[in-house]
Structure 1
């Protein structure tokens, strides 16, 4: 491998990272669906020729550490049949992807006849077929009910879009115009990544660019190991619970054991419950991403995110547990489990290294999918919205109000976008006073949002976590716990519809209101030690 001087290394590494971020700008500005362009539910990245992630734009941490598994699945499946101009698509949860709506479009980067790298995107598509609009359902029992399953296949062949595949896709989804438009936006982002890598190779030489990619992986590995050597050897366990299994069953246990020795970290997940009958299971790509997120957040937050990070981590995850299920387990609602997993990992590391402990953030992750009708065109449309909550307080300050926490980074859909594109009215979006845990530093506030179904009956799926009072966001170092999440459905007659689960798929009549009130974050430290100025601020702004 070519030796590269320090200045060249830093310039090229920064240019590769910038290229990934520029790819994100192209995808965001070119996409058709609000969940991508307005809510930022996508990621863009560059990879080595053998599929190692080297640079990724920080949009959705849930996709950190996951996309490279799709690239490797493409390489394994297609091997020597990959040609310039090809574009591959996959959403298969048991071939490296996450859940079916997160569609990966991956393109090889050739210089002449030589494959030197890959450009990739993952974006949440509004619908990929299946039983429910939005292709999610906590009650579903296998991936075949969740939508169209795509192993790594060619979306384009030698630069020409694969019409046969497009025909298959469009006949199996509810909003084909959105899906095809978004797929083309993903290809455009990959084309930009290919162009930027080719420019760097032209300026610095192909071998130098490849050497920088390898060095970026080594640098992150060395940085994680250095950070680990600076921490005391320790081990700890932590457990957390999901409210149920997605189908009204008993709580699902997430258990982690973390051990640090020298410059290595071992994470044992064998204490988790077995895979469940509902759609709360987490395919390995998403569990891997959870480990990348937690290790980066606690051990080495200043480092870049690439596959070098996992070189210092040993993982035990038996096949068949909820965090590594066997096919064809349903996985569409896996992100709620991912959030609980991230929270549990971070709490375990907080026990190991108390100076790094934080209060728990909400893992409620309320999602609201609607098979609707566009008021502009009268055509069928599918809506997907996400409502966050409060982050946990730390030893340095209060939590953040009303955000999507941990592994997610999705913005709530603007009211104007909801009401322009769907037969849904947003009646209310506001912070909830008192939803947070109190402490020397308080947790962030949860959110209240109300949706009203209008004009026509509509099929709705919603789900969330932490409605069980035993599983609310916990305080740290003497801080208080947050309130649980609640979901209320009010019929057209103004009366609450009793007996509904907090995870459900059902048809709602016009005039029906769905109200969610999400948990805030836990508090940190003794509430009696909260500074007077902060208490007065809370009172003036009616936060308690």
Structure 2
């Protein structure tokens, strides 16, 4: 489905429509460029854990940058909560409302959302919204990863507050924020970066309104949202009507030894889809619960991968999609349920469940599940001079095999377009050394098109530190589709200077399983943290993978000779590194 296949029912001419559509997109992209170049904390400047969007005067999403999908739909709920507290007709130029409350449109406490009205000639032209993951906002452990039983343990929870008036910051609110973070040296710079991003969107929309007129801008906004909705509805009509149900699991909530279930049913009827989470587990004791906004965002971006990914991103994407999220469900968390793992753990399992359900409806279009994890770790550090800091990273895994080719290796889960922190940056900022970040053999799910590979990640402490880790896929790997295999399990380990290696999260060599949700795990000087991420699930029967491709994977050390034989049915002579055609024929039947 291409955009030009859907007629634009517009009140303005097609050329002006396209110019303004691109203007709206450019405004968002410029916001993100400014965020990256002016923020102070590495999690924003280097890992790119932020999102930016603009909204129309009715607070409908108009356009968004290609930032973190798990942020983008949830930001709508934050903007709505902000204007419920500060009504639109009371706002003035330079007002900026901040919030991070998980139960008022937020996700986890580290994600702060800033909403600013944009005025032109005395009336509201739209809104700029910027969300960023801040390195630390207090709580019982660095980055809020205490994995306790109450949201208060996760840090400073802000209801909607007017942080800026007339572009000037409220010094009292700033002092409160500065007093509730382990990284005050990042806070002022990151606030200025968010404000700069918001003001850049203001500049672009005001410039467009000056040139084309406010009424033309507003007409283009409405036309664009309607245009996207028509594209999405036509895409849904291509999916056979029916009910499609699937499940996925988080390994634990940190307290229960039992996995936590996501159950989803997709009901496709004509040009609409209902996403029903009835049957999912109840609210958890531990900190993996997902508030409504996060669950909604995960469901919406998961579907858009296969509906109309090339359509302009705006509120029209969501109009044909209805959500059913039961009360007292871990995917509809309310105060005081802890939520620190919601964006990183819960959303990725929602995506996997939805993609498995779609595999029943459109098996020739869907992919195997990704690593389905963010693998977010965050660590405090204390150097020899007593200086403390917090560093964080997101060791990526593989994506699932597709109907056309193998999955991507070591790529951030669909929940975010984030980057791994560059080793040079990490070592410059913090008293650590990156020892390894390399492809992990046999980590991908097997298939006609195998999944992408995960990685082996090691960091050495040159100080004392305490590490928190949010991860899953430690009981079993990500599932494949259409006969594809599961990927390997993930694992966290502690390596001592004498070479001893102890599993601290996941399955040990003797088969014992340890809770992978780490909180305040201590490291001393010269000790290493090792993490083994998983790959993506496979697509199709592994025995249908051409033998020459299996050999290429063995030569590239993506899979072992043993896996080639036992999983793919391809016998490779280890001396000559050639295919034993006779034995391969017997293995493949």
TM-score using structure 2 length: 0.89
2:145, 2:469 within 8 Å by CA — same for their partners in 1? no
Cα shift at 1:512? 2.2
Aligned to 1:491: 496
Aligned to 2:96: 87
1:296, 1:305 within 8 Å by CA — same for their partners in 2? no
Aligned to 1:63: 71
Alignment of 1:112-261 (within 5 A): 112-137=121-146, 139-261=147-269
Cα shift at 1:373? 4.0
Distance 1:378 1:120, change over 3 A: farther
Distance 1:30 1:143, change over 3 A: same
Aligned to 1:437: 445
1:257, 1:269 within 8 Å by CA — same for their partners in 2? yes
Cα shift at 1:113? 2.5
Alignment of 1:104-503 (within 5 A): 104-137=113-146, 139-334=147-342, 335-373=344-382, 379-455=387-463, 457-469=464-476, 472-497=477-502, 501-503=515-517
Secondary structure of 2:144's counterpart equals coil
Distance 1:212 1:136, change over 3 A: farther
2:95, 2:162 within 8 Å by CA — same for their partners in 1? yes
Cα shift at 1:45? 0.6
Cα shift at 1:251? 0.7
Between the aligned partners of 2:398 and 2:472, the Cα distance in structure 1 is 14
Between the aligned partners of 1:543 and 1:497, the Cα distance in structure 2 is 25
1:351, 1:357 within 8 Å by CA — same for their partners in 2? no
Between the aligned partners of 1:348 and 1:386, the Cα distance in structure 2 is 27
Secondary structure of 2:114's counterpart equals strand
Question: Which deviates more from structure 2 when the two are superposed, residues 498-507 or residues 410-419?
Answer: 498-507
Between the aligned partners of 1:181 and 1:379, the Cα distance in structure 2 is 19
2:368, 2:402 within 8 Å by CA — same for their partners in 1? yes
1:369, 1:382 within 8 Å by CA — same for their partners in 2? yes
1:438-464: per-residue Cα shift (whole Å, max 9, x none)? 221111001110112223x21211121
Between the aligned partners of 2:529 and 2:49, the Cα distance in structure 1 is 23
1:396-441: per-residue Cα shift (whole Å, max 9, x none)? 0000011111222221111111111112221111001111112211
1:316-348: per-residue Cα shift (whole Å, max 9, x none)? 111221111121211011121110101101110
Unaligned runs of 5+ in 1: none
1:233-274: per-residue Cα shift (whole Å, max 9, x none)? 121100011101133431101000111111111111111101
Q: Aligned pairs, how many? A: 539
Distance 1:248 1:273, change over 3 A: closer
Aligned to 2:540: 525
Between the aligned partners of 1:300 and 1:177, the Cα distance in structure 2 is 42
Q: Which among 96, 107, 110 is matched to residue 105 of structure 2? A: 96
Between the aligned partners of 2:78 and 2:284, the Cα distance in structure 1 is 24
1:35-59: per-residue Cα shift (whole Å, max 9, x none)? 1111111111101122211100011
Aligned to 1:509: 524
- Rg larger in structure: 2
Cα shift at 1:539? 2.5
Cα shift at 1:492? 4.2
Cα RMSD (Å): 1.7
1:370, 1:459 within 8 Å by CA — same for their partners in 2? yes
Between the aligned partners of 2:405 and 2:503, the Cα distance in structure 1 is 40
Between the aligned partners of 1:2 and 1:152, the Cα distance in structure 2 is 36
2:356, 2:481 within 8 Å by CA — same for their partners in 1? no
Cα shift at 1:532? 4.2
TM-score using structure 1 length: 0.96
Cα shift at 1:533? 4.2
1:22-76: per-residue Cα shift (whole Å, max 9, x none)? 1100010001111111111111110112221110001111112111111111111
Between the aligned partners of 2:299 and 2:383, the Cα distance in structure 1 is 40
Between the aligned partners of 1:346 and 1:211, the Cα distance in structure 2 is 36
Cα shift at 1:232? 1.7
Question: Which deviates more from structure 2 when the two are superposed, residues 42-51 or residues 493-502?
Answer: 493-502
1:362, 1:521 within 8 Å by CA — same for their partners in 2? yes
Q: Which among 12, 15, 23 is matched to residue 15 of structure 1? A: 23
2:275, 2:322 within 8 Å by CA — same for their partners in 1? yes
2:251, 2:472 within 8 Å by CA — same for their partners in 1? yes
Between the aligned partners of 2:61 and 2:150, the Cα distance in structure 1 is 30
